[in-house]
């Protein structure tokens, strides 16, 4: 009977396919993978009330396209029309189709990503129906045109009630209008999740008519099938498939017999564990008897072992001391009371403090205040505050010396704070080299600025040239003379301003804090890169609050923006986007620069601010290092978040100390008029 039904069904499908083939019209775009699906087969694929094409298959195909790096076009169609389009080669695939022997002769299929089956749903409190054999003499709901009706007909003596969909059938089950619902397992799970009745419905019995389900391709398209299988496997490995599955079908509702099976497994485990415990106790009694006999001998061995362990501890302490002394940096540790517990040999050479005279003394008794910030040292010892890459410059032996140091808390058992560790090194030569290379990096930025300014100069020069060329023929025109007398001086002023900014930027200066509007410096700096932004087709966006004022070194802030903007531009190949935003509250000013470039790998994130670290073939590795230094000098903080192939967000946070700095610096609101 089943075989006859299948043959008739296939004949109807083939007749419909060939009759509809001429009417199917799909956009033939060779650069796009065209995938068709059913118009109304929820939750697999359907067009919702808003006209959106949604469903499990739709989400899976879009995720597969991203995984394979291809562009797809999803085409909702009548089911028979989709078959015709695939046979005629007008589409590349049908996104979801059950496998059978007849279809395998017509299509190639991907690996299955679902198994369709039919199950029996009953109310949670049901204690009578445990499978299909218990449905005799009862009212059972099925979805119209579902194969479940044939299955129930073969059992016989069942009153079958047809409904348009399982959603309506479950409503009847909840209201006790039917005794059970038999239908597609996954469609049922979707409707149960949609109606939020997971606590009212359960599955009983075994799954019936299990059929593999996957992507159908035109016969012979093996390369596309292979790529699709690889993509599906990757989606399962990275968890994307599971998320899509749970979105549409919810968590698995296990049949009652499976829960019973797990209960039996648990009881078996308990019995086995009990037997093992009994055997263990028996064995333990035998061992204890033998242990009593060996006790005297063991006591002697314990003493020998203690002596050996003490020797090992002494050897370990000597080894640790050698390791600490061999470090290229100075190292000092303190307990929670501020007493020095460890000091290595490099500390003696770097700060001239003898180990024998320092151990056991307080941190404020041996002259550390000349080399380190004592308040920060006290905070770390007392409260466990972390200070990384701090710097302090002092005068010693007729020259300035700079130390870089880090303060970290020491933790004991159960993560209890027990003290602090100070590590430091002499970076005087590094500072000198960094300053020289910073100037070199600035000159490289200057070169890019010159290119930008050259582009900006052409615009006013073009206007001036146009007026000069028109003067002989339009000088008698009053409107022409008025426009010329207005616009030419304005363009000359614009040229002078650009050149003044360039000269001002190129002059070496000491750090000089002043009051200025942060928006102005951003807009002025970005304008110099207009040509490069236009060349790459990069869109620039602003979300900046007006009148956000800051007290800082203007040239250093400008250099920070230049370096970060250059990095963003270089990370975008073409047609990207860069956005600037500024937010202000009572405590801080936050500036963000966001791009959708190639991003930064996780392994490179830890080295971003290290001098000379670069991933560019012609880079100096100083751009972000200089930004870090300048931000610190202006009492700020820089944070970077990035993901490869997604983009980078750089956050600059400055203290909103305008009023305090105004009192110290002696400026007022009139300073912003300039």
Query: What's the rounded Cα separation, in Å, for the pair 147 and 185?
Result: 13
Q: Taking the complete model, does pTM exceed 0.75, yes or no? A: no
Q: Which CATH superfamily is domain 327-426 in?
A: PAS domain (3.30.450.20)
Q: Which residues contact 419 (CB under 8 A, 6 or more apart)?
A: 333, 334, 335, 336, 341, 381, 409, 410
User: So what's the pLDDT on residue 445?
Assistant: 57
pLDDT in tens, 225-283: 999 999 999 999 999 999 998 888 776 555 554 555 566 777 788 888 888 888 888 88
- Provide the 3-class DSSP secondary structure of residue 464: helix
Confidence tier at 120 by pLDDT (50, 70, 90): very high
Q: Which residues contact 373 (CB under 8 A, 6 or more apart)?
A: 390, 392
- Provide the 3-class DSSP secondary structure of residue 420: strand
**β 647-655/588-595 pair status:** antiparallel
Confidence tier at 49 by pLDDT (50, 70, 90): confident
Same fold for the pair 327-426 and 428-508: no
Residue 310 has pLDDT above 80, yes or no: no
pLDDT in tens, 395-420: 776 777 888 888 888 887 777 888 88
Sort 662 into a burial class: Cβ within 10 Å, 0-12 / 13-18 / 19+: middle
Domain residues of the chain, as ranges? 2-109, 327-426, 428-508, 511-674
What mean pLDDT is predicted for residues 280-301?
79
Angstrom CA distances, 84 to 106, 351, 404, 474, stand at: 11, 85, 73, 72
Of the given ranges (71-85, 113-127, 160-174, 431-445), which has the lowest mean pLDDT?
Answer: 431-445
Q: Are residues 133 and 154 in contact, defined by beta-carbon separation less than 8 angstroms?
A: no
Confidence tier at 322 by pLDDT (50, 70, 90): low
pLDDT top residue among 285 and 179: 179
Query: What's the rounded Cα separation, in Å, for the pair 526 and 540?
Result: 9
User: So what's the pLDDT on residue 19?
Assistant: 41
Confidence tier at 26 by pLDDT (50, 70, 90): very low
Q: Which residues contact 523 (CB under 8 A, 6 or more apart)?
A: 542
User: So what's the pLDDT on residue 648?
Assistant: 93
Q: Which residues contact 197 (CB under 8 A, 6 or more apart)?
A: 170, 174
User: So what's the pLDDT on residue 426?
Assistant: 77
Residue 316 has pLDDT above 70, yes or no: no
What mean pLDDT is predicted for residues 84-108?
89
Q: What is the largest CA-CA distance in the chain?
A: 127
- If you count them, how many residues does the chain have? 674
Query: What's the rounded Cα separation, in Å, for the pair 506 and 13?
Result: 78
What is the Cα gyration radius of the chain?
Answer: 39
Residue 507 has pLDDT above 70, yes or no: no
Q: Are residues 117 and 210 in contact, defined by beta-carbon separation less than 8 angstroms?
A: yes
What mean pLDDT is predicted for residues 155-162?
89
Q: Domain 2-109 carries which CATH code?
A: 3.40.190.10
A 10 A CB-CB count for 539 gives: 11
**pLDDT mean across residues, the chain:** 79
Confidence tier at 488 by pLDDT (50, 70, 90): confident
CATH class (in words) of the domain with range 428-508? mainly alpha
Which of 3.40.50.1000, 1.10.10.10, 3.30.565.10, 3.40.50.720 would CATH assign to domain 511-674? 3.30.565.10
**Three-class secondary structure assignment of 132-199:** HHHCCCCEEEEECCCCHHHHHHHHCCCEEEEECCHHHHHHHHHCCCCCEEEEEHHHHHHHHHHHCCCC
The answer to whether the Cα torsion of 174, 176, 177, 183 is positive or negative is: positive
Q: What kind and span of H or E run contains 49?
A: none
Q: Which residue has the tokens 């804090």?
A: 513
Burial 7-40, CB ≥16 within 10 A → b, else e: eeeeeebbebbeebbeebebeeeeeebbbbbbbe
pLDDT in tens, 346-393: 777 677 777 777 787 887 777 777 778 888 888 888 888 888 778 878
User: So what's the pLDDT on residue 180?
Assistant: 94
The answer to whether the Cα torsion of 274, 276, 282, 288 is positive or negative is: negative
Residue 499 has pLDDT above 70, yes or no: no
User: So what's the pLDDT on residue 16?
Assistant: 45
pLDDT in tens, 326-341: 666 778 888 888 888 8
Find the helix packing angle between 428-474 and 554-571, rounded to 10°. Answer: 80
Query: What's the rounded Cα separation, in Å, for the pair 653 and 606?
Result: 20
Q: Are residues 45 and 37 in contact, defined by beta-carbon separation less than 8 angstroms?
A: yes
């Amino acid at each position: 009977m089943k075989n006859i039904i299948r043959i008739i069904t296939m004949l109807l499908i083939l007749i419909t396919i060939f009759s509809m083939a001429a009417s199917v019209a799909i956009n033939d775009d060779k650069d796009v993978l065209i995938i068709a699906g059913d118009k109304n087969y929820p939750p697999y694929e359907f067009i919702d009330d808003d006209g959106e094409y949604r469903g499990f298959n739709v989400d899976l195909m879009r995720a597969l396209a991203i995984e394979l790096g291809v562009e797809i076009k999803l085409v909702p169609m009548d089911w028979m029309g989709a078959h015709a389009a695939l046979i005629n080669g007008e589409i590349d695939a049908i996104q979801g189709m059950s496998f059978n022997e007849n279809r395998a002769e017509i299509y190639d299929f991907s690996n299955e990503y679902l198994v369709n089956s039919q199950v029996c749903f009953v109310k949670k409190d049901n204690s009578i129906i445990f499978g299909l054999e218990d449905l005799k003499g009862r009212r059972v709901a099925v979805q119209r045109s579902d194969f479940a009706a044939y299955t129930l007909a073969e059992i016989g003596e069942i009153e079958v009630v047809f409904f348009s969909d399982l959603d309506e059938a479950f409503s009847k089950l909840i209201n006790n209008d039917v005794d059970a619902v038999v239908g597609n397992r996954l469609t049922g799970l979707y409707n149960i999740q949609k109606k939020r009745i997971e606590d009212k419905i359960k599955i009983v019995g075994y799954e019936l008519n299990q059929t593999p389900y996957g992507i159908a391709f035109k016969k012979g398209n093996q390369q596309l099938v292979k790529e699709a299988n690889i993509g599906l496997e990757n989606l399962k490995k990275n968890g994307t498939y599971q998320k899509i599955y749970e979105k549409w079908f919810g968590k698995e509702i296990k049949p009652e017999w499976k829960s019973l099976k797990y209960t039996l497994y648990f009881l078996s485990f308990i019995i086995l564990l009990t037997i093992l415990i009994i055997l263990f106790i028996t064995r333990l009694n035998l061992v204890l008897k033998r242990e009593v006999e060996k006790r005297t001998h063991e006591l002697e061995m314990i003493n020998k072992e203690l002596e050996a362990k003490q020797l090992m501890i002494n050897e370990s302490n000597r080894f640790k001391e050698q390791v600490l002394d061999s470090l290229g940096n100075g190292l000092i540790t303190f307990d929670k009371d501020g007493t020095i517990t460890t000091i290595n040999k490099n500390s003696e050479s770097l700060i001239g403090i003898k180990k024998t005279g320092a151990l056991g003394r307080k941190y404020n008794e041996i002259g550390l205040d000349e080399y380190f910030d004592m308040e920060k040292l006290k905070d770390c010892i007392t409260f466990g505050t972390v200070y990384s890459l701090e710097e302090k410059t002092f005068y010693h032996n007729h020259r300035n010396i700079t130390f870089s140091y880090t303060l970290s808390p020491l933790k004991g058992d159960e993560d209890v704070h027990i003290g602090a560790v100070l590590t430091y090194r002499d970076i005087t030569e590094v500072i000198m080299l960094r300053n020289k290379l910073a100037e070199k990096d600035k000159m490289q930025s200057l070169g890019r600025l010159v290119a930008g300014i050259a582009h900006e100069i052409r615009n006013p020069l073009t206007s001036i040239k146009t007026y000069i060329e028109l003067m002989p023929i339009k000088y008698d025109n009053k409107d022409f003379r008025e426009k010329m007398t207005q616009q030419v001086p304005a363009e000359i002023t614009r040229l002078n301003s650009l050149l003044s900014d360039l000269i001002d930027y190129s002059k070496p200066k000491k750090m000089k804090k002043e009051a200025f509007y942060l928006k102005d410096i951003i807009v002025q700096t970005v304008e110099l890169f207009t040509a490069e932004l236009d060349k790459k087709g990069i869109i620039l966006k602003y979300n900046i609050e007006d009148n956000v004022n800051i007290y800082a070194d203007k040239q250093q802030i400008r250099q920070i923006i230049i370096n970060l903007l250059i990095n963003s531009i270089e990370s975008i190949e073409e047609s990207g986007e860069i956005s600037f935003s500024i937010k202000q509250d009572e405590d801080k000013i936050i500036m963000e620069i966001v791009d959708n470039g190639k991003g930064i790998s996780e392994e490179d994130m830890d080295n971003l601010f290290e001098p000379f670290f670069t991933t560019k073939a012609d880079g100096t590795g100083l751009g972000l290092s200089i930004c870090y230094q300048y931000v610190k000098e202006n009492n700020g903080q820089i944070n970077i978040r990035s993901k490869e192939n997604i983009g980078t967000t750089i956050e600059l946070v400055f203290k909103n100390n305008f009023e305090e700095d105004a009192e110290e610096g002696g400026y007022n609101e009139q300073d912003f008029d300039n």
